[in-house]
């Protein structure tokens, strides 16, 4: 619940304030209601429970992505921290009746 995950903005629907964001190959709808800087396609944002909370400065993107890449590439399916990252990435697909996220 505390872990944000960075992703790259693909497209923005201005009418609804919803961005389509790529998270390590998974596309998800992210709301732009609370992010405090203008966001454009190509920008990276920090997503938290379906809301962008920060536009990540371009120079910082690589360092920000590294931890998540490492967790996704090197962790087994039952790794607790990697599971939290996957839940954030696949959040929109989270299904009813699931246990601990």
Partner 1 sequence: MTGPRPAGAADAAELRFRDPGRARALAAALDRATRATGRDRVAVMHVCGTHEQAIARFGLRAVFPPALDVIMGPGCPVCVTDLLEVDEGVVLARQGVRIATYGDMLRVPGTVMSLADAQAAGAKVDVVYSVAQAVDIARRTREPLVFFATGFETTAVATAAAILADPPENFSVLVAHKYIPPVMEIVAEMPHSRVEGFLAAGHAATITGWGIFEGFVARHGLPVVVAGFEPLDILAGLLRLVEMIRDGRPAVANMYPRCVTREGNLRAQEQMFRVFRPTGGRWRGIAHIPNGNLRLRDEFAHVDARRRFAIDVTTLWDSAPSPLTQQCVCGDIMAGIASPDGCPLFGKECVPDTPVGACMVSSEGTCRIWFQYGGHPDLREVGGGTP
- Determine the interface stretch with partner 1 among 7-15, 19-27, 59-67 (rule: CB under 8 A): 59-67
In a 10 Å sphere around its CB, with 0-12 CB exposed, 13-18 middle and 19+ buried, how is residue 21 labelled? buried
Task: Judge contact between 84 and 71, C-beta under 8 A.
Answer: no
Alpha carbon 87 to its chain's center: 10
In whole angstroms, the minimum distance from the beta carbon of 53 to partner 1 comes to 5
Using rule CB under 8 A, residue 73 touches partner 1: no
Of the candidate residues 10, 13, 41, 101, the single one contacting partner 1 (CB under 8 A)? 101
CA–CA separation, 3 and 46 (whole Å): 10
Residues that bind partner 1 (CB under 8 A): 1-4, 31, 33-36, 46, 48-51, 53-54, 56-57, 60, 63-64, 66-67, 70, 74-76, 78-81, 83-84, 87, 91-92, 94-101
């Amino acid at each position: 619940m505390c872990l944000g995950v960075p992703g790259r903005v693909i497209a923005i629907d201005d009418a609804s304030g919803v961005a389509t964001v790529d998270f390590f190959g998974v596309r998800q709808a992210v709301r732009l209601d609370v992010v405090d800087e203008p966001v454009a396609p190509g920008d990276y944002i920090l997503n938290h429970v379906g809301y962008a909370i920060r536009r990540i400065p371009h120079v910082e993107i690589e360092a920000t992505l590294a931890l998540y890449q490492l967790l996704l590439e090197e962790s087994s399916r039952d790794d607790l921290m990697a599971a939290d990252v996957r839940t954030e990435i696949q959040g929109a697909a989270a299904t009813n009746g699931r246990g601990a996220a």
